[in-house]
Amino acid sequence: MGLLSIIKKVKKKEKELRVLMVGLDNAGKTTIVKRINGEDISTISPTLGFSIKTMQYKSFRLNIWDVGGQKSLRSYWRNYFEQTDAMVWVIDSADIHRMLDCRDELHNLLKEEKLAGATLLIFANKQDVGGALSDKQIEQVLELSAMGTRHWRIAACSAVTGQGLLEGIDWTVADVKSRRFLLG
């Protein structure tokens, strides 16, 4: 093993992204994944457990870990933190009742050491549903301004219409890419 094999490895790794999709149950995580991957989204049932989707997104290979959001599963989320490049937190923007619950879970997650460097994208999903909070409103409810040095962004989107999804993923990939360019 020498420099040339390191370079080969780095080049290979540069093109791979591990993305963790989390959020409360019924936020639309699986639907978003399937939508991005161009799959049928008409029959989606709650994720019992987890699933891994590998997809080609522009020049990157995304390994998306989609983990169920039921309360009983949340304590096991940490099984999946290892080597996470980006975390996508999905919110049901119309589920106003659980918005504070959502805030607490998110802030708990952000304390996790293994996620310390990861890019954070917040999808304010279900914008197509009447009564959904806007991204600005959610930003306030979730107290995102207290985030510190983490690279984060909130993106309003709808998994059903597809609106906002690509922009969000684009930003996430670009952010990871720029961090990698610096840290190699």
Residues with a known catalytic role = 70
Task: List strands edge to edge, sheet with 60-67.
Answer: 50-57, 60-67, 16-22, 86-92, 119-125, 152-156
For the CB of residue 134, give the shortest distance to another protein in the complex, in Å. Answer: 17
Identify the burial level of 142 via C-beta atoms within 10 angstroms of its C-beta, where 0-12 means exposed, 13-18 middle and 19 or more buried.
buried
Closest CA relative to residue 155, chosen from 130, 184, 175, 178: 175
* Per-residue mark of binding to another protein, 113-152 (x: CB under 8 A): xx-xx----------x-------------------xx---
Residue 184 touches another protein, criterion: CB under 8 A: yes
Residue 63 marked in a binding site: no
Q: Which stretch binds another protein (CB under 8 A): 4-12, 25-33, 84-92, 94-102?
A: 4-12
183 in helix, strand or coil? helix
Pair type for strands 60-67 and 50-57: antiparallel
List residues binding another protein (CB under 8 A): 1-4, 6-7, 35-36, 38, 48-52, 54, 56-59, 61, 63, 67-68, 72-73, 75-80, 82, 113-114, 116-117, 128, 148-149, 158, 160-163, 165-166, 182-184
